[in-house]
Amino acid sequence: MLSGMNIFTMEPMVPEEAAHGLEDCAVTLIAEANRLAGRIHPILQESVGTLVRSMNCYYSNLIEGHDTHPRDIDRALADDFSVEPRKRELQQEAVAHIHVQRLIDEGRDPDIWPATADYAAWLHREFCTRLPPEMLWVGNPDTGERLPVIPGEWRDRQVIVGRHMPPDPDDLPRFLDRFDRAYAAPPLSRLRQIQTVGAVHHRFLWVHPFIDGNGRVARLMSHALLKRLGIGASLWSVARGLAREEARYKNLLMQADGPREGDRDGRGNLTQRGLMAFCQFFLDSAIDQVRYMGELLDPETLLRRIEIHVEDEVRAKTLPKGSYMVLREAALAGEVERGRVPMLTGYEERAARKVTSALLDRGMLTSTSHRASLRLGFPADVAERWFPRLYPAGIGRPT
């Protein structure tokens, strides 16, 4: 029995301060994130955020073993759900995830520090209350018993995660209190907090407070924490990096569960070396994703990809001539007034309206009403052309 487990079994909580590699990575991440945010028009950032939330959802689902095609996510966001029960459930799961991340991105999450038990409970509750009832059950692999998943509630029974046995349910309040005290904003500096985001991610999973949904909550918590630290944004997601190296991600998580290995491996019960290795991997993944999105969103190269794609569509007679100039204006200016479309295309008003309608029908432009300005849209069926390698090869193409 682990009831009464000493909370020091979770130590160390933060990577040691002498880790110059982590400090260098944190400084690099700040610089790269600032550079990315500074090169994208604020209005365009909102449109890109919609795409990135869908992408983040896709990759987070993939880590959980739920492969939801980006086109199915797009359909679900448009209230077009499959009649096939399992596919529909996965679509509903995707909508729930995107809803929670949108609240974070738009600053509508609770005004509490993300690396806390209370924030984790909010994430879990906000996500799970939007799931279909069929997904709020988890099976016990040993007994076959079906256990209910109660939104926002800590688990009430012991679990085993791989080779790791998390704290007993009765001990969760003490361990979560230690989690809160270790990662509360003061006394750590901003630079140290950035170095510690990976540790927050791991130690939350080590405690494993929910009967199900801990991985998703940990990734959403990391997203929120990076945003509060002033480097995270709707323009990029670390989840893509974690999913693209899923085996390494899970292996390093498992290694960080291990016990201290000798006098040179820190002073806590758990391995300091393993914790630092995971923190390094986490920051490296974040830097890689910021740089990747920076390359994709470089205005000149993005416009060239859009132009090549639209030229192909015009030749195939699936888009009217003049479409590219409207999309180009939306990319550069953030949005296009409808009255400018005739001038941009060189068409009379009626023909210009056909261009607008065609781009709206394809989702390449979006608008909140039939009179509102036009903004770029990024539907799944163009993502592969405009954003190469955003998804695994071929996944963004029509099925």
pLDDT per position as a tens digit, 138-185: 987 777 788 999 999 999 999 988 888 999 999 999 999 999 999 986
Query: In degrees, to the nearest 5, what angle opens at C-alpha 245 toward C-alphas 21 and 396?
Result: 130
pLDDT for the residue 80: 95
* Predicted local confidence at residue 3, as pLDDT: 54
DSSP one-letter string for 83-152? SSHHHHHHHHHHHHHHHHHHHHHTT-S-SS-SSSHHHHHHHHHHHHTTS-GGGSEEE-TTT--EEE--TT
Instruction: Give the C-alpha separation, 216 to 57, whole Å.
Output: 9
Residue 399 has pLDDT above 50, yes or no: no
The whole-number pLDDT of residue 361 equals 96
pTM of the model: 0.91
Q: In this structure, which CATH number among 3.40.50.2300, 1.20.1440.230, 1.10.10.10, 1.20.58.100 belongs to the domain 299-386?
A: 1.10.10.10
Residue 219 assigned as binding residue: yes
Q: Is 76 annotated among the ligand-binding residues?
A: no
* Span 7-297 CATH architecture: Orthogonal Bundle (1.10)
Question: Which residue spans of the chain are classified as CATH 1.10.10.10?
Answer: 299-386
Residue ranges of the chain assigned to CATH 1.10.3290.10: 7-297
> How does pLDDT run across 261-294, given as a tens digit for each residue?
888 888 889 999 999 999 999 999 999 999 999 9
Which pLDDT score, from 0 to 100, does residue 397 have? 42
Question: What residues contact residue 18 under an 8 Å CB cut-off, 6+ apart?
Answer: none
Q: Is 162 annotated as a binding residue?
A: yes
216 is in an annotated binding site: yes
End-to-end CA distance of the chain: 51
**Is the pLDDT at 116 greater than 60, yes or no?**
yes
- Residue 395: the pLDDT is 62
Choice among 102-116, 173-187, 245-259 with the minimum mean pLDDT: 173-187
214 is in an annotated binding site: yes
Give the pLDDT confidence score for residue 184 in this predicted structure: 82
215 annotated as ligand-binding: yes
List pLDDT tens digits, range 307-335. Answer: 999 999 999 999 999 999 999 999 999 99
Mind telling me the catalytic residues? 208
